[in-house]
Amino acid sequence: MPLHALQNKVSKLLHGRYLLSLREAFIALIPYFVSSALAILALNSALTLNVIDDNGTVANIVSRSAHIILLFFPVVVSISIGFFLTKNYAQSGIIGALLALLCFAVHGEFLQLHAGEFTLSDSTATAYAIILPSISSLLFVYLMRTLPQPRRQFRALSRFLREKFLVILPFTIVFFSFYLWVPILSEVGHLIGGWVTPDQAHSSVAELTFKRMLASHTFWFFGVHGDNTFNMLFDEIFLNEPLVGNLSAKTFYDTFVLIGGTGCFAGLIVASLFLRKGAHERNIAQLSIPFTAFNFCEIILFALPIFLNPVLLLPFIFVPVINFFISYQIIEWGLISTNDITLSWMTPTLISGYQVSGGLSGVFLQLALLLLNAVIYYPFLKWHSEQIHYQKALNYLSEQLNISEQLRSASESQFIETQRAQDRASKALNKVLEELAQAELLLYYQPQVSQITGDIVGYEALLRLKKADGTIVGPYFIDILVKHKQTTIIDSWVIDQAALDLEYFASQSFYPVISINVNPTLINNDSSVLYICERFKEFPEQLKIEVVESSYFNDKSSVINNINRLKTHKIDTVIDDFGTGYSSLSMLADLPIKQVKLDKAFLDKVETDQGRKFYSAVVQLLHQMDKTLVAEGVESQSQLDFIKALSIETVQGWYYEKALPIEQLIDYDRTFKVAKNVDH
């Protein structure tokens, strides 16, 4: 396979949504890793310096806290993985986290019942903390996309409640399916455990320690705490036995193999210093120095990451292997003297070498290994830095999420607090948001009538608000939301509700063309346009998108691409309220848009001679540009006669009908058709 093809495959794998989600999940846990590392470091430092007594109250409290933090590590891992996997696959992150936690606690046997009392078990929890949430989240996402969703039955519910009802069936299926999954996973685990279990009866201490090193690094690569997992699964009494010279296996391993903790990350940090400034790998390595100095590996392991990263797997395994063989031979040959002392695994490199060798020989060996490790790590880090762009991939993934998921993850309270500090106008925003929370959004539909055939050719969906007292008012809140750049909230609701309404119409054998109004920024947003295409794929040629031409259209190529993308999915784009605010005939000439709606404010001025001339001139110009027109706000016979004289194709306004609630629309459409046939 050519090198560039291999690079493309590796890059595609690392930038896949699953691995990116796992990486986000572990990055989110960095504060947890740091807090646990600081607790352990503080306790050991205080004990070493005799600041506190081994059996004192403070030592017991800190030790208990550190133990609890480590015990709950698989719990927070399962929650984080469940949240980010479901979120990044455009489903509710909270639901995904709850499902992952439930499956892990029950099916992963983390929570066990013995003699009427619940206990926590960590024997298999760490491995299950990644496997079970991954399966539960991906299966949940698949079922949410494939199971039929009876949205019409939940029309009367709020959007929030409707979403929660729709997850009940997939949630339940996933949870109970693990009664099938777990026995299979357990059997696979037993097979793997049998393969990696060291044969202590027929292996030397050196062989057992070497196998432990390979197994623990493999566990770490898959996001499982390697040393703790090995300790739980296998008897490690051999670590206290002499391995080479008079050194116990544990002292040899901690001092001369793991230079900078698991993965020998001290060498990685040195190698990263030779990368370009600003490189992600260099930044992470530098941030981890205070922790790597005391042999904590989690920062680099999960933030660089090493975790599930095939590019860095080879040096991550190979470097400790090299250290093992070189150190073993040098000590075996007697080139350095060693003392049989017990050291904490957190003892910094060089200090541990000095104490174990009783002089500088151990320090020189550690320095030589550190530099060798850096040389091995450098080409892999350099390639990784040049070829793998995690941040861009994460940004792209974020942009791909649909609007509904973005709204679910938005924090309204944070927004309000921020705006309150920036602008006094946030009081108005607070009021609007409170009123929206206490009221109900509705879509009313106003007919659009062809002046050529006399038929209804479409309905514009107009936003209405039903207050707590039952009164219906117009969308007075839009201007405030536009000012605070919060129209995404409304756009998302309109998009989803329009799709639900079309589903309802279809169930009644009614297939109207509807048009919805969205903020012009949406046409610049690729992910939003893709979401619309996906949401309305079952309703070809039944949707039009109305946008007000604005300065946001300055990115002409993006606008044109998205309008064409919508057109490919049989969704037309319409320029709304032409003639008000920002209007550019030059831009309009370039846009692949067929239909333009003339604002009511234009028509209201035709009572004057100047107003009639201006309206007529605009219509003539747009017709010459081969645009079909919709006259908005037609309320009187005189206005209709004026419109017909200009050969405007479609009329919308109270002359025909005001906007109607969905319950009245089908009857109105049928009545209109009957009346038209009678007239003819």
pLDDT (tens digit, 9 = 90+) per residue, 489-501? 788 889 989 999 9
pLDDT (tens digit, 9 = 90+) per residue, 237-252? 788 888 888 888 889 9
- Look at residue 288 and tell me whether its pLDDT is greater than 50: yes
pLDDT (tens digit, 9 = 90+) per residue, 457-471? 999 999 998 887 888
CA–CA separation, 42 and 604 (whole Å): 77
What is the secondary structure of 480-523 as a DSSP string? HHHHTT-HHHHHHHHHHHHHHHHHHHHHTT----EEEE--GGGG
More confident residue, 594 or 128: 594
CA–CA separation, 569 and 494 (whole Å): 19
Instruction: Give CA separation, 133 vs 76, 86, 190, 231, 374, in Å.
Output: 11, 10, 20, 24, 36
pLDDT of residue 167: 85
- Look at residue 602 and tell me whether its pLDDT is greater than 50: yes
More confident residue, 346 or 361: 361
Q: Whose structure tokens read 């709606």?
A: 597
Given CA atoms 560, 566, 568, 573 in this order, what sign does their dihedral have? negative
Question: For the residues 521-536, what does the mean pLDDT come to?
Answer: 88
Question: For the residues 475-488, what does the mean pLDDT come to?
Answer: 75
- Please report, as a single letter, which amino acid is at residue 606: V
Confidence bin at 632 (pLDDT 50/70/90): very high
pLDDT (tens digit, 9 = 90+) per residue, 213-237? 988 888 888 777 767 666 655 667 7
- Look at residue 82 and tell me whether its pLDDT is greater than 80: yes
- Look at residue 192 and tell me whether its pLDDT is greater than 80: no
Instruction: Supply φ then ψ for residue 197, to 5 degrees.
Output: -65, 125
Question: Which domains, from first to last, does the chain contain?
Answer: 439-466+483-679 (3.20.20.450)
- Look at residue 659 and tell me whether its pLDDT is greater than 90: yes
Name beta bridge partners: 248.
Answer: 242
pLDDT (tens digit, 9 = 90+) per residue, 50-65? 777 777 777 777 677 7
Tell me which of 69-73, 159-163, 592-596 is least confident: 159-163
- Look at residue 608 and tell me whether its pLDDT is greater than 80: yes
Q: Please name the residues in contact with 365: beta carbons below 8 A apart, sequence gap of 6 or more.
A: 256, 327, 330, 336, 353, 357
Question: For the residues 625-646, what does the mean pLDDT come to?
Answer: 92
3-state SS, residue 458: strand
Structure token digits, residue 415: 């927004």
- Mean of the per-residue pLDDT values of the chain: 80
pLDDT of residue 465: 87
Question: For the residues 522-548, what does the mean pLDDT come to?
Answer: 90
Confidence bin at 407 (pLDDT 50/70/90): very low
pLDDT of residue 536: 93
Instruction: Give CA separation, 657 vs 446, 448, 456, in Å.
Output: 7, 9, 11
CA–CA separation, 180 and 546 (whole Å): 50
Confidence bin at 127 (pLDDT 50/70/90): low
More confident residue, 193 or 334: 334
pLDDT of residue 5: 55
Confidence bin at 543 (pLDDT 50/70/90): very high
- Look at residue 545 and tell me whether its pLDDT is greater than 60: yes
Confidence bin at 152 (pLDDT 50/70/90): low
Please give the share of the chain, as a percent, with pLDDT higher than 70.
Answer: 77
- Look at residue 416 and tell me whether its pLDDT is greater than 50: no
Please give the share of the chain, as a percent, with pLDDT higher than 90.
Answer: 29
pLDDT of residue 308: 79
pLDDT of residue 412: 39
Could you tell me where the DSSP H helices lie in 123-225? 125-146, 159-166, 168-196, 205-221
Q: Whose structure tokens read 């496997």?
A: 131
Looking at residue 554, the DSSP 8-state letter turns out to be G
More confident residue, 218 or 568: 568
Cβ atoms of 95 and 141 within 8 Å: the answer is no
Question: For the residues 515-526, what does the mean pLDDT come to?
Answer: 87
- Look at residue 420 and tell me whether its pLDDT is greater than 50: no
More confident residue, 289 or 29: 289
pLDDT of residue 396: 44
133 preceded by cis ω (within 30°)? no
Q: Please name the residues in contact with 121: beta carbons below 8 A apart, sequence gap of 6 or more.
A: 109, 110, 111, 112
Confidence bin at 375 (pLDDT 50/70/90): very high
Cβ atoms of 589 and 625 within 8 Å: the answer is yes
CB atoms near residue 616 (< 10 Å): 14
Tell me which of 37-51, 286-300, 413-427, 545-559 is least confident: 413-427
More confident residue, 237 or 553: 237
Looking at residue 276, the DSSP 8-state letter turns out to be P
Cβ atoms of 484 and 491 within 8 Å: the answer is no
CA–CA separation, 453 and 654 (whole Å): 19
CA–CA separation, 427 and 423 (whole Å): 9
Cβ atoms of 603 and 636 within 8 Å: the answer is no
CA–CA separation, 184 and 191 (whole Å): 11
Structure token digits, residue 464: 């209405």
pLDDT of residue 47: 67
**Angle 57-71/30-48 helices, nearest 10 degrees?**
150
More confident residue, 480 or 454: 454
pLDDT of residue 64: 75
pLDDT of residue 394: 47
Confidence bin at 316 (pLDDT 50/70/90): very high
